[in-house]
Structure 1
Amino acid sequence: MEEYQNTKVLVVDDEARIRRLLKMYLEREGFLIEEAEDGNQALEKALENDYAVILLDLMMPGIDGVEVCRQLREKKATPVIMLTAKGEETNRVHGFEAGTDDYIVKPFSPREVILRVKALLRRSSQTSFLKTETTAKNVIVFPHLSIDHDAHRVTADQKEVSLTPKEYELLYFLARTPDKVYDREKLLKEVWQYEFFGDLRTVDTHVKRLREKLNKVSPDAAKMIVTVWGVGYKFEVGNE
């Protein structure tokens, strides 16, 4: 519990019952919980505050969870777990394309939510702020780009790049095996960590966003993520 003491989580759902349930279980683990009951309120809070993770309902009055996530991603890399009802697979795909890091299907077990939140925090670049010590033993260094996996920190031409957890995992996965080509199905399975039968554009969208973020600070770093037409993607060193 002490590990997550004062770690802020935003719970967003238009059903007060679900917000109360999640709040109760998360607070037992030491989390600090704030609530929002619709998309507009959620976006306002998410932009004004720094949360370790956001639990975001997909279908809400006003703007829905996908649009909240899309607008949030223009400004911040806060980890997002989408809460979806059964039968909303198409919308889940849109959620991933908008930058969602994980999703949980309703009805859910509160314990599952706790485990997913903790797993995401462990993987998230945000966790670097929760640690009292930062080690740098697990670092991958390339020309123009370095990845400190212990701190979940990416630096391109000496400038830090702010990535969402999924963007970071995708980059790290590709960078571990330079020149190895992965098709989209393999990337979905390995990076998303479970079988996901959905739109393969999810991978394309994340690659595009990752390249754009790298390109803003280092065009040379962005060029390392190479499209292999008709197959998938690879990480290529020295692609000038």
Structure 2
Amino acid sequence: MYKILIVEDELYMLNLLNIHLGKEYDIITAKDGQIAYEVIQQQSFDLVILDVMLPYISGWDLCRKIREIGDTPILMLTARTDLSDKVKGLELGADDYLVKPFEFEELKARIKALFRRYNHMEIRNSYDDNKIIFLNGSFIIDLQSRQFIINQLLIELTAKEFDLLSLLASNPNHVYTREILLDKIWDLNEVRDVRNVDSHIK
């Protein structure tokens, strides 16, 4: 069963959320940002439902702190309707933003959509000797089929471009000189000019 942390300072709303979601999920509640932050440091959750206007630590700051810890999905639930607030929440790392008042059926649908999205990412991030995967599955190099995929779009690369990208992605934080790249990517019978490296990198 998925475990959800609900951070809400209005007792009435907190009880409603607990009633509507408690049958499907394991619910933990927190009435202010400080309590929520302490709980998050002690337990892991599959989702955080987060109000913005909270005592002690605001929802904005708590969202930022959660993102510093990990990639737990965050659904912001708030009465703030300004577009700038929604943009701010998403920029701070929230995955979704639902404005009060709302229908609980919509909330449930959004929760399920977040779980599907993150489960899909976890599958795509699973270890595979034939794939190099970054950014929660949005950057994939398939070494067997020699395909490069970004955000589920196939990117056409030449053979040398693919070899260069695969080498660099396989060795993050490693610095290569042009001469080393020539030795690793270009055969001895090919034209070996450092300018070839520059043009392919560009």
Structure 1 regions of 5+ residues with no counterpart?
1-5, 129-148, 180-214, 221-237
- Structure 1, residues 110-165: CA drift from partner, whole Å, max 9, x if none? 111111111100001xx37xxxxxxxxxxxxxxxxxxxx671317799887674xx
Instruction: Give 1:108's match in structure 2, choosing from 102, 113, 117.
Output: 102
CA RMSD between the two structures: 3.3
Instruction: Give 1:48's match in structure 2, choosing from 42, 46, 57.
Output: 42
**TM-score (structure 1 length as normaliser):** 0.55
Equivalent-residue separation in structure 1 for 2:81 and 2:133 (angstroms): 39
Instruction: Give 2:6's match in structure 1, choosing from 3, 11, 28.
Output: 11
Q: Contact 1:77/1:162 (CA < 8 Å) preserved in 2? A: no
- Structure 1, residues 10-35: CA drift from partner, whole Å, max 9, x if none? 0111101111111111122x200000
Q: 1:219 to 1:44 in 2, by over 3 A?
A: same
Aligned-partner residue type, residue 152 of structure 1: R
**TM-score (structure 2 length as normaliser):** 0.65
Aligned-partner residue type, residue 92 of structure 2: A
Q: 1:178 to 1:118 in 2, by over 3 A?
A: same
| 1:113-192 aligned within 5 A | 113-124=107-118, 127=119, 151-153=123-125, 163=136, 174=151, 176-178=153-155
Q: Contact 1:21/1:110 (CA < 8 Å) preserved in 2? A: no
Q: Contact 1:154/1:162 (CA < 8 Å) preserved in 2? A: no
Higher relative contact order (CA 8 A, sep 6+): 1
**Structure 1 runs of 4+ with >3 Å offset:** 154-163, 168-175
Equivalent-residue separation in structure 1 for 2:125 and 2:116 (angstroms): 13
Q: Contact 1:9/1:32 (CA < 8 Å) preserved in 2? A: yes
Identity of aligned residues (%): 32
Structure with max Cα Rg: 2
Q: 1:40 to 1:70 in 2, by over 3 A?
A: same
Q: 1:66 to 1:239 in 2, by over 3 A?
A: farther
Q: Aligned-pair distance for 1:86?
A: 4.1
